[in-house]
Amino acid sequence: MTDTAHRVVLAARPEGRATTDHLRHESFDLPEPGPGEVLLRTIWLSLDPYMRGRMSDAKSYATPVAIDETMTGQTVGEVIASNHDGFAPGDIATGMTGWTDRAVMKGDELRKLDPTRAPLQTALGILGMPGMTAWTGLTRILEAKKGQTIVISAATGAVGSVAGQLAHARGLRVVGVAGGPEKCAHATGNLGYDTCIDHHAHADGEAMARAIGEAAPNGVDLYFENVGGKTLAGVVPNMNDHGRIAICGMVAWYAGENLEDAISGPTIWRNLLTRKLRAEGFIIFDHWDRFPTFLDEVAPMVADGTITYRESVTDGLENAPKAFVGMLAGDNFGKTLVRVGPDP
Ligand code: NDP
């Protein structure tokens, strides 16, 4: 017997900026769970910038979503039926079910959550992949130390907001770059940033370089790179000798826009050489073995309020495409989430 559920599929591949026309909300026939499988009702869907990459068929570290295929994504859901020994109806679990209101998944591909530990959606944000990314970039890639000066771009977003608070807690001077005065006020007022630069107020890499120079009078030791564009062009000339750059993302360029803001290859190469910089890209899935260590360190900081978080919540799976497109343009304030169904 089949049942009807809803999902969002990739309707067309964007050239440049993604729009809601590239995604389609539709119904589909949901199969019954087979042996070892679990039927889930989605409560929370995470929206993340990496999904823009999956909409393209350019060669990458992950397989692209096919046309008419359900958009990839992590969710938190409630178990409705289970043929897996590890799950029973009423359990809460997280997994890569995609943009759908119900899903049949292999139980082995799900992680059970303790709903008494923290609000369920934190498993998609501060206590999930984005928080883990911030912690990994700061501790494993940058090896941040007390007294250093760090610049963090997309400073108030899902990753940046955690990186900023962790850097502050470790005693660094923390300089944020964010879009608009409201986000900057949040960065300095609530997230522990010592200062914050509004990138909308600085036209190009040279203007950004001047602003960053003023914000970091002793130079920049560490850069947590989330955006690329004119922010990267502004940071590099301010780097101190032996500085480090953790290349986490480059959301300013995901749509093929702002390419004119790029720092030239020879300039970045010369700076890497003469300032003896180390730049290292990282993909969080390679670091997943450390997830329990991350939780042990960060979950108590969230529980005691040392680290706070903010969320941009949209209701209804059918509204996910608009929320996703808005997030890529900076409309979100904190972790971007869709409430697909009621949270028990
Ligand atoms: P955010 O919550 O930070 O949302 C994206 C933000 O990017 C927007 O809010 C906006 O912030 C900023 N932005 C968009 N366009 C521009 C632009 N042209 N110039 C400057 N900033 C821009 O997303 P996440 O925290 O989830 O992700 C942050 C970065 O981390 C992304 O690049 C993402 O791909 C990367 N990432 C990488 C991982 C990895 O394994 N390497 C894992 C997870 C995330 P504002 O309004 O402040 O400009």
Specify if 299 maps to a domain: no
- Cβ contact 32:4 at 8 Å: no
Q: Average pLDDT per run of 10 along the chain, which is 344 residues long?
A: 89 94 97 96 97 91 93 98 98 98 98 94 97 98 98 98 98 98 98 98 96 98 97 97 98 84 92 97 97 96 95 98 96 96 94
Which among 9, 99, 105, 104 has a CA at the least distance from the CA of 47?
99
Q: What is the pLDDT of residue 98?
A: 98
Specify if 12 maps to a domain: yes
**Tally of structural domains, the chain:** 2
Q: What is the pLDDT of residue 123?
A: 97
CA distance 11 to 22: 5
Q: What is the pLDDT of residue 58?
A: 84
Pick from 269, 284, 299: which residue ends a domain?
284
Cβ of 227 below 6 Å from ligand 1? yes
Cβ of 162 below 6 Å from ligand 1? no
Burial 225-249 (b: 16+ CB within 10 A, else e): bbbbbbbbbbbbbbbbeebbbbbbb
Residues pairing with 239 in the sheet: 220
Please report, for the domain that includes residue 7, its CATH number: 3.90.180.10
**What does the pLDDT look like over 308-336, one tens digit per residue?**
999 999 999 999 999 999 999 999 999 99
CA distance 244 to 182: 29
Q: What is the pLDDT of residue 166?
A: 98
Output DSSP code: residue 217.
Answer: T
118 and 170 in one domain? no
Ligand 1 centre to CA of 217 (Å) is: 26
Q: What is the pLDDT of residue 256?
A: 78
Specify if 198 maps to a domain: yes
147 and 117 in one domain? no
Ligand 1 centre to CA of 240 (Å) is: 25
Of all protein residues, whose CA lies closest to atom 22 belonging to ligand 1?
Answer: 252
Tokens of 178: 């964010």
Query: What range defines the domain where residue 258 resides?
Result: 129-284
The answer, as to whether pTM is greater than 0.75, is yes
Best mutation site among 200, 226, 259 for ligand 1 pocket (most ligand atoms within 8 Å of CB):
226
Ligand 1 centre to CA of 160 (Å) is: 8
Ligand 1 centre to CA of 328 (Å) is: 7
Ligand 1 centre to CA of 16 (Å) is: 16
Q: What is the pLDDT of residue 104?
A: 97
Specify if 184 maps to a domain: yes
Ligand 1 centre to CA of 154 (Å) is: 5
Q: What is the pLDDT of residue 2?
A: 66
Of all protein residues, whose CA lies closest to atom 18 belonging to ligand 1?
Answer: 252
Specify if 22 maps to a domain: yes
**What does the pLDDT look like over 208-267, one tens digit per residue?**
999 999 999 999 999 999 999 999 999 999 999 999 999 999 999 987 778 888 899 999
Ligand 1 centre to CA of 87 (Å) is: 34
CA distance 79 to 39: 6
The burial class, CB within 10 Å (0-12 / 13-18 / 19+), for 47 is buried
CA distance 169 to 159: 16
Q: What is the pLDDT of residue 250?
A: 95
CA distance 119 to 96: 19
Best mutation site among 96, 121, 159, 311 for ligand 1 pocket (most ligand atoms within 8 Å of CB):
159
Q: What is the pLDDT of residue 59?
A: 82
Atom of ligand 1 nearest to the CA of 284: 40
Atom of ligand 1 nearest to the CA of 161: 25
111 and 57 in one domain? yes
